[in-house]
A = this chain, B = another copy of it.
Amino acid sequence: MSVNEMFSSIQEFLSADHDVREDIRKVVQVLEQTAREILTVLQSVHQATGFKDIPSKCLRARELFLTVRNHLGDLKTKFPAEQYYRFHEHWRFVLQRLAFLAAFVVYLESETLVTREEVAQILGIEVEREKGFHLDIEDYLSGVLTLASELSRLAVNSVTAGDYTRPLRISNFINELDSGFRLLNLKNDPLRKRYDGLKYDVKKIEEVVYDLSIRGLSKVQESETAYEK
């Protein structure tokens, strides 16, 4: 093969690569758009009025996740399955965001931690790399960390909205999450940096719980709630 032919064939490769990336970029843009819509739906729970109809918001988010599944299905067709990490940077950010949104929905619905399997199922993708377009473990963890900081905000706002029991439940949830993360040996990478933020979320929630405790507000409501039932 002559030098010219060699470079021509490489140029062809680069062109093809460029086209694949353009295609991916387009789908990712649409995904980001939908992710922003889901975020807007879920964000409203922070407002005083928002605490009432959490279930309906979750339903709306679930609907939008169906659209996400379609887009992700589309994304999979844009490149060979075994080259996931070649293009990872393109969708890494949006996938972390979607993992967070899935985790948020699941938390609002059931106050449990979404599993990697559940996120994958909600997004219509795989858990295991071997099986196809999957959710990278670090992206899943990153999404979970975003949830933690969202919940610390929720704890604050639920007090404002007069719900004094939620912060305690969030506190237990986040504490377990924190214990989980402490098991991990992270490298000096973005995930580590985000994990460093988790301590501040834990701290913030602890402060809210403290504020409620010294005012006896948590207990009061618990008993109130008990009576109401």
Contacts and interface: CB of A to CB of B under 8 A. Distances in A.
Interface of A: 1, 3-4, 6-8, 10-11, 13-15, 18, 29, 32-33, 36, 39-40, 43, 46-47, 80-86, 88, 113, 115-116, 129-130, 137, 141, 153, 156-157, 159-160, 175-187, 203, 206-215, 217
| Interface SS of A by simple majority | helix
Contact of A84 (B3, B36, B85, B179): B85
Contacts of A84: 82, 85-86
B83 A86 contact: no
Contacts of A160: 206, 209-210, 213
Given A11-B184, A36-B183, 17 more contacts: A4-B179, A4-B180, A6-B113, A6-B180, A10-B116, A36-B182, A36-B185, A40-B182, A82-B84, A84-B85, A85-B85, A85-B86, A159-B214, A160-B206, A160-B213, A214-B215, A214-B217
